[in-house]
Structure 1
Amino acid sequence: MLSCPDIAPTRLRGHETPEPFGVYLHWPFCRAKCPYCDFNSHVRHGGIDEARFLRAYLAELAHFASLALGRSVSSIFFGGGTPSLMAPSTVAAILDAIAAHWRLENDAEITLEANPTSVEAENFAGYAAAGVNRLSLGVQALDDASLKALGRQHTAAEALAALALAKRNFSRVSFDLIYAREGQAARAWREELSRALDHAADHLSLYQLTIEEGTPFAARHAAGTLRVPNGDAACALYELTQELCEATGLPAYEVSNHARPGSESRHNLLYWRGHDYAGIGPGAHGRITVNSEKRALSTMKAPEAWCEAVEMQGHGLETDEALSAEEAAEEYLLMGLRLAEGIDLTRLAALGGALDENRTGALEADGLVRRDGNRLAATPRGRLVLNRLILDLATGDARARSS
């Protein structure tokens, strides 16, 4: 269990302004489990005791507030699971508690993930009244056959209706699509994405379908009954995605996320830039700096077990580990290189990292990374092999630190 020191707002060495701080709330319940999903989500056909879970969220918030004293909250994110299954009054109570424990910045971004079924869309006005100012809608596909194959509970028509309703209730709206689906050709994706861009507001999340271990899709893929584009076909779909989004004014600011300049998800940028955040709820992860030491925290995944733990001890923490300077720097490298802006080398050095200049120079000569002052970023070519590139740079970072 962490100590609760009276600390000033966290600053990184060499930086004068306070670091951004966010709060992530994980609501683990769904109406149904999608066959591609490996998130910590659970179906409870008998219903849940929402009042009991709310009490647990409020208690765990109080505990995390004692670990991160004096912070100003710049972003809040309700993720899941399906947060749009929560009553608006539950969301309001949680937001009130956050504002009571920390200073909530006037322009704080407050996002809630939602599904586009008509039942959940009925709550949009209630969420907006509670204080949510950004909605992230899980559309996933714009044709009914694909939605059925993905295990979604809505139709394409419902998705577009929910999107229109979201735009009337929230100042900022994003939605997700999954591509590289089974049997999806480039022409079909071009038509679907073009249609999506016609409806887009200021942000889109576009994910290539990945086969996650332990999911029904993984079992089908292993059995040969699920065939998805891979290799050159997947690269072609990715490049097509970049082309269409850039032409429409929503360039990629992260591997899978596109936004009009200035409309990026501030909460997700907080993760990728290596800032602190409290992770509340079953299976949530967090990073909190205490006395200049960054700590990695995670809570119990099973919702009922988490709830019981909070009732007994005030939190459901399962792990609480101090990150070494090397681990914190490597984490920043791994996350930051996903961004189009890349990493701040001054920040990397302040965290304890040091890249192998010879290896970095070779990657730059190969056209895989670019340097601009104190920033290092993957080029479009480098983003096509990003996982390999990150591993190469991380290995070089380890060599540089040991030399």
Structure 2
Amino acid sequence: MTLTNLSATTLPAHAFGVYVHWPFCLSKCPYCDFNSHVRHGGIDQARYVAGYLREIETMAARTNGRTVSTIFFGGGTPSLMQPQTVAAILDGIGKHWTVAPDVEVTLEANPTSVEAERFRGFRAAGVNRVSLGVQALDDASLKELGRLHTAEEALKAVAVARSVFDRYSFDLIYARPGQTPDAWAGELRRAIAEAAEHLSLYQLTIEPDTPFFNLHRRGKIATPDDDTARDLYDTTQEVCDAAGLQAYEISNHARAGAECRHNLVYWRGDEYAGIGPGAHGRIEQDGRRYATATEKRPESWLMRVEALGHGLVVDDVLTREERADEYLLMGLRLAEGIDPQRYEVLSGRPLDERRIANLRAEGAVETTPNGRLRVTQAAFPILDAVVADLAA
């Protein structure tokens, strides 16, 4: 993995994002711990649109004067939304905030043929980037992961995305049960041949309260051991690097200038408003930074919004230490690293130079020519330990 700074044009100095959560899925994947729900009886999208618009109005009033740099429809499965639903939400954002002329509008999509047919409708609504949940390029793995599409359907959806959108990305999960580095390298090269500019590549993690967790606990699923997982990680970096898709974040690879601008809002510690059931946000108001989160259960969220104008169940002022810790935790995921001076401003104290020196001696961190602190290529797989050491 070549560690490089991001393109200077990726985001303005103080970006502001809007995250819109659509919590519904056709089925619940066995590895997923996201806030997603299956509703077989249908969804009243008109009523939910009214709820989204109400919450947008409330959050915009708290962030008056911001210019929206990025919008992201996540889930759940946002591609289950009707294009007119997406259009109405985007119109609501445009009504209550100023929107940058070059705004990035991303929508997550499942690569089924039915949803691919909606891509042109989403494009007409204002979406200019899609992120496809491909997850694997062989049918056996897709079935094991609980996905409803085949590899052929996924690649057809990628082709449709390529024909409709200038920018698109897709996700793959690796370190799957029984996966070898050679097999993963071949699958990844095939993916890169289909990916124009961006890939998100996630190691499979066994999350609590998921079907995979219970299966893993009973010995029904065996994930790769630590050595194999490291080999798979190294293979990921080598194959992507050779193809010009450099790692700009621990799990995300892009050609220069093609980074996901919305996710950079999170990782760089900028502001974003969270809209919809289970959405999180970080907003500045009256000189304080608030961590917000809305009610997760869709029906309960909707009733709260209709009664109160918002679905917030968390609306907490962050302490200086909490803000600094978040900046450290999120910023060190990036290949560009963090600005130690910004950390000092946030926390009121500098990073411990002795800890930095020890980590530098161990080959875990390095300082860039412009003074930023970043985790080295070799230490990215132990990122959590490095962050914990610096934050102590």
Using structure 1 for the length normalisation, give the TM-score.
0.93
- Once residues 224 and 284 of structure 1 are traced to their aligned partners in structure 2, the CA distance between those partners, rounded to angstroms, is 34
| Aligned amino acid, residue 354 of structure 2 | N
The structure 1 residue matched to 2:292, chosen from 297, 301, 315, is 297
CA distance 1:376–1:116, change in 2 (3 Å):
same
Q: 1:369 maps to which residue?
A: 365
Whether 1:323 aligns to 2:288 is no
Secondary structure at the residue paired with 2:390? helix
Whether 1:270 aligns to 2:269 is no
Deviations 1:357-383 (A, max 9, x none): 011011111111001232000001111
- The within-5 A match list for 1:10-21 is 19-21=14-16
Secondary structure at the residue paired with 1:385? helix
Secondary structure at the residue paired with 1:253? strand
Q: 1:8 maps to which residue?
A: none
Check conservation: 2:365, 2:374, Cα contact below 8 A. yes
Whether 1:379 aligns to 2:376 is yes
Q: 1:256 maps to which residue?
A: 251
Cα-Cα RMSD: 0.9
| Aligned amino acid, residue 136 of structure 2 | A
Check conservation: 1:337, 1:378, Cα contact below 8 A. yes
- The within-5 A match list for 1:3-402 is 19-352=14-347, 353-372=349-368, 373-395=370-392
Check conservation: 2:341, 2:350, Cα contact below 8 A. no
Contiguous gaps of at least 5 residues in structure 2: 1-11
- Once residues 222 and 359 of structure 2 are traced to their aligned partners in structure 1, the CA distance between those partners, rounded to angstroms, is 33
Could you tell me how far 1:291 is from its partner in structure 2? 1.5
Q: Percent identity?
A: 61
For structure 1, which segment, 345-354 or 186-195, has the greater mean C-alpha deviation from structure 2 after superposition?
345-354
Secondary structure at the residue paired with 2:35? coil
- Once residues 346 and 77 of structure 1 are traced to their aligned partners in structure 2, the CA distance between those partners, rounded to angstroms, is 30
Q: 2:4 maps to which residue?
A: none
Using structure 2 for the length normalisation, give the TM-score.
0.96
- Once residues 380 and 136 of structure 2 are traced to their aligned partners in structure 1, the CA distance between those partners, rounded to angstroms, is 24
Contiguous gaps of at least 5 residues in structure 1: 1-16, 396-403
Could you tell me how far 1:351 is from its partner in structure 2? 1.4
Could you tell me how far 1:350 is from its partner in structure 2? 2.1
Check conservation: 1:73, 1:102, Cα contact below 8 A. yes
Q: 1:398 maps to which residue?
A: none
- Once residues 385 and 98 of structure 1 are traced to their aligned partners in structure 2, the CA distance between those partners, rounded to angstroms, is 39
- Once residues 176 and 18 of structure 1 are traced to their aligned partners in structure 2, the CA distance between those partners, rounded to angstroms, is 28
Could you tell me how far 1:18 is from its partner in structure 2? 6.0
Equivalent residue pairs, number: 379
Secondary structure at the residue paired with 2:221? coil
Q: 1:14 maps to which residue?
A: none
Runs ≥4 in structure 1, deviation > 6 angstroms?
none
Secondary structure at the residue paired with 1:343? coil
- Once residues 144 and 293 of structure 2 are traced to their aligned partners in structure 1, the CA distance between those partners, rounded to angstroms, is 32
| Aligned amino acid, residue 40 of structure 2 | H
| Aligned amino acid, residue 380 of structure 2 | R
